[in-house]
Homo-oligomer: A and B are copies of this chain.
Amino acid sequence: MFNHPTRRTTLLGLTAAIGAFPRIGPAFGQTDPLPSWNDGPAKQAIVSFVTRVTTQGGPDFVPVEQRIATFDNDGTLWSEQPVYFQFAYALDRIRVMSKDHPDWKDKQPYKAVLEGDHATLAALGDKGTMELMAATHTGMTVDAFGKDVADWMRTARHPRFNRPYSDLVYQPMLELLAYLRANGFKAFIVSGGGVEFMRPWVEKIYGIPPEQVVGSSGKVEYRLVGDKPELLKLSQIEFVDDGPGKPAGINRFIGRRPVFAAGNSDGDLQMLQWTTLNDGPNFAMIVHHTDAAREWAYDRTSSIGKLDKALDEAPKRGWLVVDMKSDWKVIYPFQK
């Protein structure tokens, strides 16, 4: 994703004439690290921040070990419509598991899943949703669950794009992750999603290792079965990494305050506050879903990824609001 052959070829061929080139943004003299971002204030703000904090001797220099960046996942690194992809996994899993649970065909909320009864599913509420999540996310070992998630990620297809869910990651955000990494940042995912659901695939898809994933979690129980140790996933919730839980999760797992944070919904509000209402250089951005043609458009009234308070707070706090429609040249890697 760092290839930008035209400019690179030109520069390599004409280094003697370099002084005659117009200055094209701060990345002049290098390949563009963010080729899927349209030139404009959003891209400029990001490049300017990264340049400032990595300029040794500059007033805003941040030592490498303090370059912590935190990214929400759903709606920030990949899509979250028409349902959170983890919930799509749960629904698929209910269908697979139903062959061992004949009673489910007459029992809600399972019945609605098996019949594709979207109206009932949409009206499930927390209790019904949690029941489906518990049925599909607990009672097995962590290893078995991870394998099943990895299988699903390989085989399941997103209903709108008929592609693996992991194809619905945002190309501009992949470039941003790589750009930050190349500049000494350590990027963490800080998601309301389940940590066990993300770990099997984040390294391959985002280049973020499993130990840099903070998420919601259920309790696990350690058991030694013969000479084989297991961690059994229990139904009790351990930690909800959303809203005010995000600064708590950042503190618990990372133990440093981020200097860069990206989110897309009110569930990220406190993470953005925690990152920016702080001395020293920092940066926060909101991915605003404005592109119904290429992705989805939603914000203040959406049941998924509701963005209301954080959108109001953004100008006051100086948070960058990224307009997907106008700021992003492409949305998904397969559109390149």
Contact = CB atoms under 8 A, between A and B. Distances in A.
A203 interface: yes
Interface string A240-265: 00001101100111111000000000
Nearest to A213: B255
Judged by DSSP, the binding face of A is mixed
Interface string A270-284: 100110011000000
Interface stretch (A24-32, A221-229, A319-327): A221-229
A117 interface: no
Given A222-B270, A229-B270, A210 B248 contact: no
A211 interface: yes
Contacts of A256: 209-211
What bracket does the count of chain A residues touching chain B fall in? 35 or more
A56 to B, nearest CB: 20
A217 interface: yes
Interface in A172-222: 186, 188, 195, 199, 203, 209-213, 217, 219-222
A248 B229 contact: no
A211 B254 contact: yes
B229 A274 contact: yes
A285 to B, nearest CB: 18
A231 B255 contact: no
B224 A273 contact: yes
A210 B258 CA distance: 13
A204 B213 CA distance: 24
Contacts of A203: 65
A277 B228 contact: yes
A47 interface: no
A142 interface: yes
B211 A251 contact: no
A94 to B, nearest CB: 25
Contact of A255 (B68, B210, B229, B247): B210
Contacts of A253: 211, 253
A222 B210 contact: no
A211 B213 CA distance: 11
Contacts of A224: 270, 273, 277
A229 B277 contact: yes
B221 A244 contact: yes
A226 to B, nearest CB: 9
Given A247-B222, A273-B224, A209 B252 contact: no
Give the most central of A228, A251, A278: most B CB within 10 Å: A251
Contacts of A188: 211
Nearest to A244: B222
Contacts of A199: 255
A186 B209 CA distance: 12
Leading 6 A-B pairs by shortest Cβ distance: A210-B255, A222-B244, A199-B255, A211-B254, A222-B247, A220-B248
23 contacts: A65-B203, A65-B209, A68-B211, A142-B251, A209-B256, A210-B256, A211-B212, A211-B254, A213-B255, A221-B244, A221-B248, A222-B247, A222-B248, A222-B270, A222-B274, A224-B273, A227-B277, A229-B247, A229-B278, A231-B247, A231-B248, A238-B239, A253-B253
